[in-house]
Amino acid sequence: MWEYAPAPESRDIANLKPNYRMFVDGQFVEGSGEPLKTVNPGTEEVLAEVSTAAPADVDKAVKAARRAYDRVWGRMPGSERAKYIFRIARLIQERSRELAVLESLDNGKPIKESRDVDVPTAAAHFFYHAGWADKLAYAGHGPDPRPLGVVGQVIPWNFPLLMAAWKIAPALATGNTVVLKPAETTPLTALVLAEIIQQADLPPGVVNILAGAGDVGAAVVSHPDVDKVAFTGSTDVGKTIQRQLAGTGRRLTLELGGKAANIVFDDAPLDQAVEGIVNGIFFNQGHVCCAGSRLLVQESVAEELLEKLHVRVSTLRVGDPLDKNTDVGAINSREQLTKIQELVESGDAEGAQRWTSACPLPDKGFYFAPTVFSNVSQAMRIAREEIFGPVLSVLTFRTPDEAVAKANNTPYGLSAGIWTEKGSRILWAAQKMRAGVVWANTFNRFDPTAPFGGYQESGFGREGGRTGLEAYLDV
């Protein structure tokens, strides 16, 4: 055994400012809401103060978006819109180190993930959608698909910049204007994206970004002049929004929670599967809607796989998100940490067998050691509810039919994983699984060309790819 020397990324790269303001009609402005303090979950220190929106500010932002839509953006030829979107993509790349460090500070995710996944994938979404802007007539949504108008978008804290990109890029490519609200605990990278949008010379009002808590989100989605709502977050809030919009004729897409099955058949390459399982549940501290949080293992290989898994998970380094050696960073908030602890205690109480990595944890900050529950039964809360943390529940099965039945035994249906040597089994299982995304011999792969979205309580509508454009077009 040898120890790693610390390898911290410099936090100066983040250009952190003491105050951040909202972005409305092309300007950075003070909102009239109560300012919020955003915290570094890795250390519990306050990073910055952010001004928030009051209902009157939401109205101003929607009006600005409407003006921009009517006068400029909705009429602009796609080939012209594309130039702006390409510019945003390139500026994200230019400022990628700054964005990565800022994201890790505000969210707690390891720098290697923000640097290698979040920021490059955000840029890729803008590049991909810029390419569509002048080709919408060939996207299979009719010869002259029209935008919807003003879209209201609300996003969660687990991929703050990437979720903003998932939302804004397709809206702009299709000719809509945007009012977006980032999550209360992670507003900073969305506000730097607003700087980039200003740098890219986007006409004022095309994109507006309002900070604040759930009440600001509620004001955005229920504003009567918003034509379409795109929401990513919890199933509970998604249901509330669906109720609010029912009967209004306004369009809605919901990307909600998940409890994905990651299925390992007895012919799977086990060492590879272990890597995929680790990536599936410990990537981004398990704060992933499509996390492989239910591992289903064929009984004959369960013992061997679990042994390998414990050895591998023991090597994960938990700690300072800015250290380049860190595999698992900080839990995003104290509230989320409490939720994880409560669900883990329910696993103990219901009789599952808990194994926790003996890794050291920092004294300050919100951290949770990687945890694997075995002997889990389908009725337990840890098998049914989304934990949204670094906690894996392991169940077993004997036959392929049983695996599929157990995988589908959930109110969700966002993603699934299959590990097997046989292509025919992959196709068979993928067809039977009620999940929007099915990964085979890999997990947690994100690409702007691939549509993403759920079944049942995981929501409806797709984001990404040609299919994802439909949500922003009047077709």
User: In the complex, which residues of this chain contact Mg ion (CB under 5 A)?
Assistant: 38-39, 106, 185
Q: How far apart are the C-alpha atoms of 165 and 171, rounded to whole Å?
A: 10
Sign of the four-CA dihedral 364, 352, 393, 421: positive
Cβ atoms of 233 and 186 closer than 8 Å: no
Hey, CA dihedral for 469, 461, 258, 334, is it positive or negative? positive
CA distances from 336 to 77, 332, 340, 370 (A): 44, 7, 6, 15
**Which tokens in the block code for residue 25?**
């009609």
56 vs 137, beta carbon nearer ligand NAP: 56
- Cβ proximity to ligand NAP, 207 vs 268, nearer residue: 207
Report the residue count for the chain: 475
- Residue 114, binding choice from ligand NAP, Mg ion, none, Cβ under 5 to 8 Å by partner class: none
**Which partner from the list Mg ion, ligand NAP, none does 184 bind, CB cut-off 5 to 8 Å by kind?**
ligand NAP
The binder of 256, among ligand NAP, Mg ion, none, by C-beta within 5 to 8 A per type, is ligand NAP
Nearer to Mg ion, 298 or 336 (CB): 336
Nearer to ligand NAP, 21 or 259 (CB): 259
Q: How far is the CB of 185 from Mg ion (least distance, A)?
A: 5
According to DSSP, residue 227 is labeled: -
* Residue 391 touches which member of Mg ion, ligand NAP, none, C-beta under 5-8 Å by kind: none
How many whole angstroms separate alpha carbon 155 and alpha carbon 221?
Answer: 12
Q: Which does 382 bind (CB under 5 to 8 A by kind): ligand NAP, Mg ion, none?
A: none
**3-state SS, one letter per residue, for 285-338:** HHCCCCCCCEEEEEHHHHHHHHHHHHHHHHCCCECCCCECCCCECCCCCHHHHH
Q: Active-site positions?
A: 255, 289
Rounded to a whole number of angstroms, the minimum distance from the CB of residue 36 to Mg ion is 10
- Provide, rounded to whole angstroms, the least separation between the CB of residue 247 and Mg ion: 37
CB of 40 to Mg ion, least distance (A): 6
The nearer residue to ligand NAP, 255 or 320, going by C-beta atoms, is 255
Q: Which residue is nearest to ligand NAP (CB)?
A: 217
> Which positions lie near ligand NAP, rule CB under 6 A?
154-158, 181, 183-184, 213-214, 217-218, 221, 232-234, 237, 240-241, 255-258, 289, 386, 388, 414, 454, 459
Encoded tokens for 437? 């995304």
